[in-house]
Every structure is written in C-alpha cells, then in structure tokens.
Amino acid sequence: MSELAPEEARKKAKEVCFDLLAARPRTKDELRKALRRKGFDDELSETLLGKLDHAGLVDDAAFAEMWVRSRHAYQGLAKRALVAELRRKGVDSEVAAEAAGEIDRDAEEDRARQLVRKKLRTMTEVDEQTATRRLLGMLARKGYPQGLSYTVVREELRDLGAESTMLDDVTLD
C-alpha cells in the first residue's frame, strides 16, 4: 500500500482491522498477518495494533479465554489441543496455557465421556475392539491424554455392555 498517502493508508488499514474484528474477535498476530497480506508496512501495522490494544479492541488474553470456552464446549477439544490452536493463532504460550487452565481434569473427563457416548450411538454394528480403536483415535485427535482416553473408553464400553445385558434380560409379555 505504498502508493497510498500515509493518511489514506492508515484509514484503509483501520478498515481492514475493523472488518475482521466485526466478524469475530482476533489476536494481534492474526490482524498483523492480515495487514501484511494486504501490503501495509510493518510500522503502520504496529502503530495501529498498539492503538487497538490500548483501546481494548484487541486483547489476546480475552480472546484465548473465549476461544477455550467455545472450542471445548462445541468441538470437545482438550487442553493440549486448545493450547496448540492458540499458539498457531499467535497467542503467547503462557497466555494460552493460562486460558486452557480454566478446564480442570473433571471437566475434561466429562467432555470426553460425552463425546464417547455420542460416538457410541452411531457404532451399533462394530465389535468392541474396533469401537475401542475408533474411540481412542477420536479422543487423541481432540487432544485428550492417552490414560484418560483409555479409562473413559473402557468404562463407557463396560457400562454400555451392562446396559445391553440388562435389556436382553427384560422380556416383554
């Protein structure tokens, strides 16, 4: 954007940022990369990002907290996966870890159980070994620790087996 007058370049850069922020919250790094892609120079970008930060329009810590809550609740992602996503979005490691720290082990285990139960409903024609492999793979892709995944899958399959055995014992007269 070197062909634009400085004031016009600032105005255009501001529009780019506001358009992106209107869609959803963004990290400083996401805005920095967008401005770079559009051809704005680094000095202008850093000045603008500083002003947006000072005005409270860009806050990586607030973004990280919102991201963690949303992605854990709706995508079922575990802490490890959430930290990795935040790091890819340019959030500082400490900020990402602190935001993911909101999810305790119990919440992570509960969410893993919900995911396993939901997936089990669609796995009616599969043997236990295949079900175990698929469920462990799903949880691994979502960032759940191996020990927790194995415990949850084993217990949920056991509970499902107990339920189906109880249903087999029921006779309809």
Residue 2 has pLDDT above 60, yes or no: no
First to last CA, the chain: 80
Compare 170 and 103 and report the one with higher pLDDT: 103
Burial 58-89 (b: 16+ CB within 10 A, else e): bbbeebbbebbeebbeeebbbbebbbebbeeb
pLDDT digits (tens, 9 = 90+) for 78-132: 999 999 999 999 999 999 999 999 999 999 999 999 999 999 999 988 899 999 9
Residue 71 has pLDDT above 90, yes or no: yes
Q: Give 126's DSSP letter.
A: S
Phi, psi of 13 (to 5 degrees): -65, -40
d(CA 88, CA 148): 25
